[in-house]
């Protein structure tokens, strides 16, 4: 099987594919209230997304994550999961996963499990109903918790993703870790990144280094480093008291670019080789320009050949540097 190798000898085995830029939340660190969504006609069809993913799998991608926006808002999205499940059955694809805000997870959980999805990531930044609604500007905590419970009941492993925000939720990060451990969920903390068009002064003010978070957790839990990885950017520890894994995703305080094995595709078919760089490559043109995949495969190889060494994210006294203007809902989470 042909492999994708970038200019820095990193093998690309992990693809994140956005199926929509739409979301029913407006999380304060992620999207502006006035975000304008793309016309549906601009999005790749589900059949085109299947063809695109299949091309990457043929080039050695082993892990595929469906993202958004909120991916479960995409009409008939389960048909894409059912189509992609054939690659799990043949062994060409090792893992098919999903990142969701959990708002509509409950009615889809059993179907996801039936398609071979083994685990899902759910974004959850607070266990306090009023604070959760304030952070998401839309969300209902009870609905998200019901979705998490439905996923667990369907046999899906759940990993909670929590963005650590100074002055916002830093006083309940230990509570979140304790709750996740009691529920049997792994948990990853994430540093807020300078992505999107919102004021960077606000983003810099809420930045909380995960080195500080880990130090606080260590006052309550016995943490030991783990060598294992799920193929993503997190560095994991084990909490002795609960047995859970806790991950730290540190794009700013402790970069992980040297081992980056992933690329992202937007819902419009743009390949972004780096979350923290502006450059992208259009794959929609070659995808639609021919019934065969030769031009598409060439475009993919060319794009991987442009993957940079890393991002330029940083926060300083004057705010953020390395800012990327496109929103996370457009890039794909």
To the nearest 10°, report the CA torsion of 37, 42, 47, 52.
-90
- Residue 308: the pLDDT is 81
Bind-site residues for [4Fe-4S] cluster: 23, 27, 30, 257, 260, 274
Q: Which residues are annotated as a binding site?
A: 16, 23, 27, 29-30, 65, 69, 99, 123, 159, 193, 257, 260, 262-264, 274
Q: Could you tell me if 121 and 91 are in contact, meaning their C-beta atoms sit under 8 angstroms apart?
A: no
Please state, in angstroms and as integers, the Cα–Cα distance from residue 67 to each residue in 132, 199, 267, 323, following that order: 21, 25, 9, 21
Three-state DSSP at 234 gives: coil
* pLDDT band per the 50, 70, 90 thresholds, residue 201: very low
Which pLDDT tens digit goes with each residue over 165-185? 999 999 999 999 999 999 999
- For the chain, list the domains and their CATH numbers: 14-331 (3.20.20.70)
State pTM to two decimals: 0.90
| C-alpha to C-alpha distances, 317 to 200, 205, 252, 322, nearest whole angstrom | 11, 10, 14, 14
Give the mean pLDDT of the chain.
Answer: 88
Is the predicted pLDDT of residue 129 greater than 90, yes or no?
yes
Give the model confidence (pLDDT) of 232-280 as tens digits. 678 899 999 989 999 998 866 555 677 788 899 999 999 998 876 777 8
Band of pLDDT at residue 317, cut at 50, 70 and 90? very low
Residue 270 CB partners (closer than 8 Å, separation 6+): 280, 281, 282, 283, 284
Rounded CA-CA distance 234/228 in Å is 10
Binding residues for S-adenosyl-L-methionine: 29, 69, 123, 193
* Cβ partners under 8 Å of residue 318, min gap 6: none
Which residues are documented as binding site for GTP? 16, 65, 99, 159, 262-264
């Amino acid at each position: 099987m042909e492999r994708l190798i970038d200019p820095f000898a990193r093998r690309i085995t992990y693809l994140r594919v956005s199926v929509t830029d739409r979301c029913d939340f407006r999380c304060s660190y992620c999207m502006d209230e006035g975000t304008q969504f793309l016309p549906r006609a601009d999005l790749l069809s589900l059949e085109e997304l299947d063809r695109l993913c299949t091309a990457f799998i043929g080039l050695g991608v082993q892990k595929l994550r469906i993202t958004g926006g909120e991916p479960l808002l995409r009409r008939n999205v389960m048909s894409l999961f059912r189509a992609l499940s054939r690659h799990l059955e043949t062994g060409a694809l090792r893992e098919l996963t999903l990142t969701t805000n959990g708002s509509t997870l409950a009615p889809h959980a059993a179907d996801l499990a039936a398609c071979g999805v083994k685990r899902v990531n759910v974004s959850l930044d607070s266990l306090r109903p009023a604070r959760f609604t304030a952070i998401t500007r839309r969300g209902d905590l009870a609905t998200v918790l019901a979705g998490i419970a439905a996923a667990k009941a369907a046999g899906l492993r759940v990993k909670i993703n929590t963005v650590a925000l100074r002055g916002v939720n830093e006083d309940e990060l230990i509570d979140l870790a304790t709750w996740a451990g009691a529920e049997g969920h792994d948990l990853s903390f994430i540093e807020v990144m300078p992505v999107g068009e919102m004021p960077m002064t606000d983003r810099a003010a809420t930045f909380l280094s995960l080195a500080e978070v880990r130090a606080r957790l260590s006052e309550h839990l016995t943490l030991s480093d783990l060598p294992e990885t799920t193929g993503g950017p997190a560095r994991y520890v084990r909490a002795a008291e609960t047995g859970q894994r806790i991950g730290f995703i540190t794009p700013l305080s402790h970069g992980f670019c040297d081992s980056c094995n992933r690329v992202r595709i937007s819902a419009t078919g743009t390949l972004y080789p780096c979350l923290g760089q502006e450059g992208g490559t259009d794959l929609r043109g070659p995808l639609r320009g021919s019934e065969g995949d030769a031009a598409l495969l060439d475009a993919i190889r060319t794009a991987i050949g442009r993957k940079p060494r890393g991002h330029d994210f940083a926060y300083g006294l004057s705010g953020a540097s390395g800012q990327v203007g496109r929103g996370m809902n457009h890039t794909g989470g």
